[in-house]
Amino acid sequence: MNPKRNLSLAFFLFAAVATALAQIESEAIVIQTAHTSLVFQVNKEGTLVQSYFGKRLPADQIKNIQITPQEAYSTYGKAFVFEPAFQAVHADGNLTTELKYVKKEISTLDKNTTLTRIQLKDAFYDLTVLLCIKAYAAEDIVEQWTEITHGEKKDITLNDFASSQLSVKASSYWLTSFYGGWASEMNMNEEKLSEGRKVLESKLGVRSNQFSHPCFLLGIEGAATETEGNVIGGTLAWPGSWRLSFEVDPTKNLRILSGINPFASPYTLKPKEVFKTPGMLFTFSDAGKGEISRRFHAWARTYGMYKSERPHMTLLNNWEATYFDFNETVLKQIIADGADMGFDLFLLDDGWFANKYPRNNDDAGLGDWDVNIKKLPHGIGELVTAAEAKKIKFGIWIEPEMVNPKSELYEKHPDWVITAPHRPLDPSRNQLVLDLSNPKVQDHVFSVVDRILTENPHVAYMKWDCNRYMTNVGSSYLPPEKQSHLFIQYTQGLLDVLKRVRQKYPEVVLMACSGGGARMDYATLPFFDEYWISDNTDALDRIFIQWGTSYFFPPIGLASHVSVVPNHITKRITPLKFRFDVAMSAKLGMDLQPKDMSPEEKEFSQNAIQIYKGIKHIVQFGDLYRLLSPYESNRVALQYVTPDKKEALVFSYLKKKEIMGDDQVLYLQGLDPNLEYTFMEVNKAPGKTSHATGLEGKKFTGAFLMTYGARYLMSEEFESIVFQLSSK
């Protein structure tokens, strides 16, 4: 060997590596939307770090960003001692991973979206992680997910596999999270984060948002309001078990990890197999929580929701009127009554199916999707025909993922249910979950929908329910070594079925229900037109439920129904106008049956339905501004403004009686300051004079209404006022 030659070669290699590292270290990967910037850099060790996320930076200032120590996708191993985004067991048993930057690819998908793919590779093992980041410029939304693959000789095990890691540096953080339970969904809680780790999660597998929701608002350097403050908002697109982690270290760095909950879900990854995590969507605003909300609404209407451009129908549901006790004659009368009231659609709820074990209550029949011939001797087609004769559309309820033990389906396929071996069955609401990790079960669930819609091609609407979560988790389909895949593969199976349904039945309107709002997430947006957000239809409670839900979900998809009083859940009595005014601030429907109404109530309801049809374009396609919060004020107010700013609606509610009256100022938002708006009160209570009559017919500029405000007195318990503003 020639030592001089070896020395020269070593020097050449060292120089080449040093040059490459210098190039890497100076490289910034910049992801921009209209108002935000996300910046990555590569440090001298070849590690990808996230250097900035916030208000958009001028392009010529990106070079001034300092490299931070915050890894863009942290791994277990080396000196990182906090919760990692990624941890795997390699084929040789090594528990650590060390990801190094390899390259980036940036693709322009269209004039509004770009996709950046950043390749990271383990320093020793043939393991690759792709960070995939899609930027939606106009909506100011960034979506991130990961794609994991390897070329090791044997399978590896993924224990932690976050969709995204977002790092922030500030002196204080204020987290708004959303929690609840059956009949009490989407309550809001705001807290200051202390050092340590705050975890929001679901381990439920199905109905996974029952107790907590995979979305958040984060005030930076202080608690934000609707209109002021630096805020990050995010939501995960996954309908299964999920986890959001917020960890503040001793130097006030915050790391936000999001993705599938790895609890009981170690995933065995074969060589060359690609594991794709769900998308995490997030944005930043320096103008408060309201702007965050409107950005998510814009994204959902443009990219998320199925056929969100079509107006949504008003409907009459039979559930609270009949529950399981009905027949063909009763339903035909409800259909006729609904048509006379002016509804667009009648929805037949639970109880129409099963014969050997008839669905007369919730302990039998679920899974047997044959029409009950005693209740409906002429089948569903007879009801569809009756609806068409009244010029009203027909919808139907299903719960295809579930089965009662007391059913023919369970007798034939007991191996299709999720249950652990050597354990007794654990029914909830007298039902079990079908195992959607099994392709045969997926085919069965699709066939339930397919058969109903094939036999009844004029069914226009389907309510897809899901009334329990997973317990006693186990699959007779998955092998012993892959039992931990069940949470993930069930969810993937569900999404595959929904894709098949949408491909074959693109025009059928689908509502997602899960004992209320326990299945509301951005993964199901492309399949469902609207959501049943709570079984609680009490108007006062619905103000709170709809307030929280509306932060991430556009009102066009939030079904809100007028129901009987005393309310079946709360026993509260509220005025019919109040109930309508609350329901009209979302997607109007009704469970209150016309036959149970007085002539005066029926007339008011008919008028209210027609009024809603005339203003629903403002609610369903307008921008939402929250004016007075039910968490902070006895008076609640919200406002919708059309995209062209020529029309607006203002809803006001009083929760409790105000002896001296409540005349606080409503500072309207989102109007064109140069336009003149005429006030008109809509859905007035018959025979009553509103305190707001002083504004009726008057004109004000948008600038005046946003600066001086709108002022009118409210004093009575459950009083409500709706104003329509028009510049036309």
For residues 181 and 298, give the distance between their C-alpha atoms in angstroms, rounded to a whole number.
28
Residue 575 has pLDDT above 50, yes or no: yes
Q: Distance (Å, rounded) from C-alpha 313 to C-alpha 301?
A: 17
pLDDT of 155 above 90: yes
pLDDT of 689 reads 77
Give the 3-state secondary structure of residue 695.
helix
At 469, is the pLDDT very low, low, confident or very high (cuts 50, 70, 90)? very high
pLDDT at 27: 74
**pLDDT higher for 728 or 252?**
252
* Preceding amide of 594 cis, omega within 30: no
Euclidean distance between CA atoms 659 and 583, whole angstroms? 26
Amino acid identity for residue 537 in this structure: T
Output the CATH code of domain 625-726: 2.60.40.1180
Domain boundaries, the chain: 9-304, 625-726
What b-and-e string marks burial along 633-659, b requiring 16 or more CB atoms within 10 Å of the CB?
ebbbbbbbbbeebbbbbbbbbbbeebe
Tell me which DSSP letter residue 275 carries: E
The stretch 50-66 carries a mean pLDDT of 94
Tens-place pLDDT, residues 342-388: 999 999 999 999 999 999 999 999 999 999 999 999 999 999 999 99
For position 692, what pLDDT does the model report?
A: 78
Q: Is 239 in contact with 525 (CB distance < 8 Å)?
A: no
pLDDT at residue 728, rounded to an integer:
81
List the strands of the sheet with 267-269, edge to edge: 86-89, 156-161, 267-269
Say which residues have a Cβ less than 8 Å from residue 23's Cβ, sequence separation at least 6: none
DSSP state of 212: B
pLDDT exceeds 80 at position 305: yes
Residue 14: pLDDT over 50: no
CATH tag for 9-304 (out of 2.60.40.1930, 3.30.420.40, 3.40.50.800, 2.70.98.60): 2.70.98.60
Q: CA 404, CA 430: separation in Å to the nearest integer?
A: 6
Tell me the pairing of strands 558-562 and 530-532.
Answer: parallel
Query: What are the CA-CA distances from residue 292 to residues 83, 216, 224, 362 (Å)?
Result: 27, 10, 11, 41
**Predicted local distance difference test score (pLDDT) of residue 26:** 53
467 is known to lie in a ligand binding site: yes
pLDDT tier, 7 (very low <50, low <70, confident <90, very high otherwise) = very low
pLDDT digits (tens, 9 = 90+) for 430-446: 999 999 999 999 999 99
Helix (H, G, I), strand (E, B) or coil at 683: coil
pLDDT tens digit sequence for 598-607: 999 999 999 9
> Where is 282: in which H helix or E strand?
strand 280-285
- Is it the case that residue 8 has pLDDT exceeding 50? no
**Is 415 a residue whose pLDDT tops 90?**
yes
Q: What would the pLDDT profile of 522-573 be if each residue is shown by its tens digit?
A: 999 999 999 999 999 999 999 999 999 999 999 999 999 999 999 999 999 9
Query: To the nearest whole percent, how much of the chain has pLDDT over 70?
Result: 96
369 annotated among ligand-binding-site residues? no
- Rounded to an integer, the average pLDDT of 689-700 is 85
| Cα–Cα nearest to 613, from 344, 347, 356 | 344
Contact assessment for residue 164 and residue 257, using Cβ atoms and an 8 Å cutoff: yes
Cβ-based neighbours of 561, under 8 Å, separated by 6 or more = 317, 537, 583, 588, 589, 590, 591
Conformational region of residue 472, where left means phi above 0, alpha means psi within -120 to 50, and beta covers everything else: left
pLDDT of residue 13: 31
The rounded distance, in Å, linking the Cα atoms of 373 and 167 is: 60
Q: Is 349 annotated as a binding residue?
A: yes
N-terminal to C-terminal alpha carbon distance within the chain? 90
535 is in an annotated binding site: yes
Could you tell me if 427 and 367 are in contact, meaning their C-beta atoms sit under 8 angstroms apart?
no
Mean pLDDT, the chain, rounded, equals: 95
Instruction: Determine if residue 465 is labeled as part of a ligand binding site.
Output: yes
Burial of 674 (0-12, 13-18, 19+ CB in 10 A): exposed
CB 584 within 8 A of CB 604: no
pLDDT of residue 688: 80
Q: Quick check: 523 and 237 in contact, CB under 8 A?
A: yes
pLDDT for res 3: 45
Query: 464: annotated binding-site residue?
Result: yes
Annotated ligand binding at 182? The verdict is: yes
DSSP string, 467-488: -----S---SSS-GGGGGGHHH
Catalytic residues: 465, 535
Say if CB 132 and CB 142 are below 8 A apart: no
pLDDT of the residue at 694: 83
Residues forming beta bridges with residue 158, ordered by sequence position: 88, 267
